[in-house]
Amino acid sequence: MWYWNGYPVRRVWDASGSLRVSAEKNVTVYAGQDVSDEQIFKFLDRHRRFLLTRLRRAEAWEDRFPEVMHCQTVLLFGKERPLTFVRGGEGVFVRNKRGVPRAVEALCGEAFLQRVAQWKERMGVVCGTISFQYAKTLWGTCDAECNLRFNRAAMMLPPELCDYLIVHELAHCNFRNHGEGFHRFVARFLPDERERGKKLAEYSFLLSIYRE
Ligand SMILES: [Zn+2]
């Protein structure tokens, strides 16, 4: 195992020449076989600022949600509940970490869909189907037919941030882009839209921690 400034570094034989920092503060370097160890360390140093920013962000998550980060608990609509890997144990049962998003959907999917239905009516929006997935970067999407797809991690968020995502995606049924009309429409229902958007960024670790 290598270390860079005390953080574990893993090398993956992949010629893309990129860098990744996980929420668990592991650094992964993707480099082809022609790249020497020495070149990798130079590469890490050249991207020092990027690495430190990501690592500090991961540290802030760990300060705030240590048990969530270590899979001792799981967030359900913003509330921490115990997570168990033992059948019949206390709390939400999962076979492994990758199973967490689906377990959350089984518990909260119905309530989430009800929330979508309520907002849909309130906003007077017509949309297509609604489905769930666990994606690395997106909280939600709205395609050309106005079919909405939400990240399963959305059900881990506090209700006010669920609403922010739901209103955002529903608004895309009327406005395809993020122009002025879009924000004016959203602000009619959520005047503090921007503050909620900033708050959402504090939860972005939920998009990646259940992948590894
Ligand atoms: Zn959008």
Token pair 């939600």 is at which residue? 140
Rounded alpha-carbon distances, angstroms, from residue 32 to 4, 50, 110: 19, 21, 46
Here the tokens at position 192 are 């503090």
> Taking all residues of the chain, what is their mean pLDDT, rounded to a whole number?
93
CA of 177 to the centre of ligand 1 (A): 7
* Pairwise CA distance, residues 8 & 96, whole Å: 23
C-alpha distances in angstroms, 38 versus 41, 42, 76, 172? 5, 6, 45, 48
What spacing in Å lies between the alpha carbon of 114 and ligand 1's midpoint? 21
What spacing in Å lies between the alpha carbon of 168 and ligand 1's midpoint?
Answer: 6
- What's the predicted TM-score (pTM) here? 0.83
- Report the separation in Å between the CA atom of 97 and the middle of ligand 1, taken as the mean of its atom positions: 29
Q: Which of 89-93, 111-115, 118-122, 139-143 has the lowest mean pLDDT?
A: 89-93
The mean pLDDT value for 183-211 works out to 94
CATH number of 100-207: 3.30.2010.10
Q: Give the range with max mean pLDDT: 13-17, 67-71, 161-165.
A: 161-165
Query: Averaged over 87-106, what is the pLDDT?
Result: 93
Taking only the tens place, the pLDDT of each residue in 1-25 is 789 988 999 999 888 888 998 888 8
The ranges assigned to domains in the chain are: 2-64, 100-207
Would you state the structure tokens that stand for residue 152, as one six-digit string?
A: 């399963």
- What one-character-per-residue DSSP string does 105-155 give? HHHHHHHHHHHHHHHHHHHT-----EEEE--SS-SEEE-TT--EEEEGGGG
Q: How many CB atoms lie within 10 A of CB 148?
A: 23
Q: What is the pLDDT of residue 90?
A: 86
Ligand 1 center from residue 176 Cα (angstroms):
8
